Copies of this chain bind each other. A is one copy, B any other.
Amino acid sequence: MSDHAPSPRLAILGGGQLGRMMAFDAHRLDIAPIVVAPQEAAPGFAAAKPIPLDFDDAALGARLEAEADVLTYEVEHLPVEAVRALGERVPLRPGIRSLEITGDRLLEKQFIASCGLPLAPFAPVDGPEDVDAALAVTGLPAILKTRRHGYDGKGQRRVSTREEAEAAARELAVPSVLEGFVTFERELSVVAVRGLDGEVRSWPLAENTHRDGILHVSVAPAPGTDGALHARAEAKAKRLMEELDHVGVLTVELFDTGEQLLLNEIAPRVHNSGHWTLEGAVTSQFENHVRAVCGLPLGDTAARGASVMINLLGELPPREALLAVPGLHLHLYGKAPRPGRKLGHATLCADDMGGLREAAARLPEALRAPTLAALA
């Protein structure tokens, strides 16, 4: 094995299911995963060496310097300065700029605009006094969103009048962004990956359906999309990644208006709408992220047939009922149930959309209706 490079040790900041699934794929490549999370118990600790420290713990830098060769993150809501300091001790991929920008909705939108990519009108709102100026940009209705720490519909208020907008600004009471409403036909996402050498690949588009602001169902490849639409989406992701010098996976959520692909959000990481790649693509988003940040060649992102991914939110159907569904691939995250919480996901694969509909008809009742609706 003289010519087999020693195995890099990969530290993942964040202890959720994304790091957990990344760790499984890292093991397969003989890359030893470490998971850093402030909790005592975290889904990501299951299959990795745990470091249960706060991200700004004074001891963390020295530990990572001693124990890790590469540093990555599975969540964008991290203390930027603490991560910057860690990245000065261990190579951080994606870099600090991807984190800094996507961890703040205003910076993110300004960045998207600076890349010349289309998005809904937006304006900063630091308090009720900014509402009038912001509404002049966005019109009504609009959505007020906190700049930081919002995800899965948290920290958002839909407003239909000036008074509602002011009330929402008082209520959120933190720096926020007002977004104009856009009319769109559907929500798509493109999960893309950029290697250390700058090579970019992306998986086929996913079409996403939400429930209460949380991703519920993803279908991939998105029905009725062609290579041209995928190429347009990939070009946007590529532009953003190159501008950020991003290494690893980056996900772009898009509003398909029929004429345009408007950028909704960027996630500098593997994404829930890419979970279908575990069984539905040749190489999963998790494996390609690990490959990219460790400087390894990227894997094939082609789809294997058609897939539908359903999130298991809030409570789990009995495991037996899920596993009795022919061809269902179950992924549980080892999390305690809580309303709206992502506890796991299930993926069905088939040769084509017709096969997917047949498979979905056998799902337990609670999952069947939303899945069939997404496949309609």
Check if B315 sits within 8 Å of A4, measured CB to CB: yes
Instruction: Out of B297, B316, B319, name the residue touching A296 (CB < 8 Å).
Output: B319
| Nearest CB in chain B to that of A305: its residue | B304
**Is A320 interfacial (CB-CB < 8 Å)?**
yes
* A79 proximal to B (CB < 8 A): no
- Given known A323-B299, A327-B282, A327-B300, contact A332–B5 (CB-CB < 8 A): no
Does A229 have its Cβ within 8 Å of any Cβ on chain B? Answer: no
Contact of A30 among B29, B315, B332 (CB under 8 A): B332
| Residues A27 and B30 in contact in the complex (CB < 8 Å), given A5-B318, A5-B319, A323-B299 | no
Kindly state whether residue A1 has any CB partner on chain B within 8 Å.
yes
- Chain B residues lying within 8 Å of A328, measured Cβ to Cβ, are 299
Instruction: Establish whether residues B46 and A1, one from each chain, have CB atoms under 8 Å apart when the complex forms.
Output: no
A340 at the interface (CB under 8 A from B): no
Q: Which residues of B contact A330 (CB under 8 A)?
A: 28-29
Contact between A28 and B282 (Cβ–Cβ < 8 Å)? no
Alpha-carbon distance between A252 and B328 when the two chains are bound, in angstroms: 27
Q: Considering only CB atoms, which chain B residue lies closest to A299 in the complex?
A: B323
Q: Assess whether A326 is interfacial by the CB under 8 Å rule.
A: yes
In the bound assembly, the distance between CA atoms of A320 and B299 in angstroms comes to 11
**Bound-complex Cα distance A213 to B163 (A):** 80
* Assembly CA distance A343 to B30 (angstroms): 10
Contact of A326 among B300, B315, B336 (CB under 8 A): B300
Interface residue? A38 (CB, 8 A) = no
Q: Bound complex: CA of A93 vs CA of B337, how far in Å?
A: 30
The answer for the CA separation of A318 and B47 in the assembled complex, in Å, is 25
Q: Does A317 contact B (CB under 8 A)?
A: yes
Question: Is B297 in contact with A323, judged by CB distance below 8 angstroms?
Answer: yes
Which of A259-308 touch B at CB < 8 Å?
282, 291, 296-297, 299-300, 304
Instruction: Check B300–A344 contact: CB distance below 8 A.
Output: no
Q: Which of B5, B316, B324, B331 contacts A297 (CB 8 A)?
A: B324
CB A295 to nearest CB in B, in angstroms, measures 9
Expressed in whole angstroms, the Cα–Cα distance for A344 and B1 within the complex equals 12
- The minimal Cβ–Cβ distance linking A327 to chain B, given in whole angstroms, is 5
Does A181 reach chain B (CB closer than 8 Å)? no
Once the chains bind, are A4 and B319 in contact (CB under 8 Å)? yes
Whether the Cβ atoms of B47 and A331 lie closer than 8 Å is no
Q: A324–B327 Cα gap in the complex (Å)? A: 30
On whether the beta carbons of A24 and B1 are closer than 8 Å, the reply is no
Interface bits A314-358 vs B (CB < 8 Å: 1, else 0):
011111100110111011111011000001100001000000000
- Residues of the B chain whose Cβ atoms lie less than 8 Å from the Cβ of A331: 28
Shortest Cβ distance from A344 into chain B, in angstroms? 7
Q: 5 A-B contacts, Cβ less than 8 Å apart?
A: A4-B318, A24-B47, A28-B331, A30-B344, A291-B323
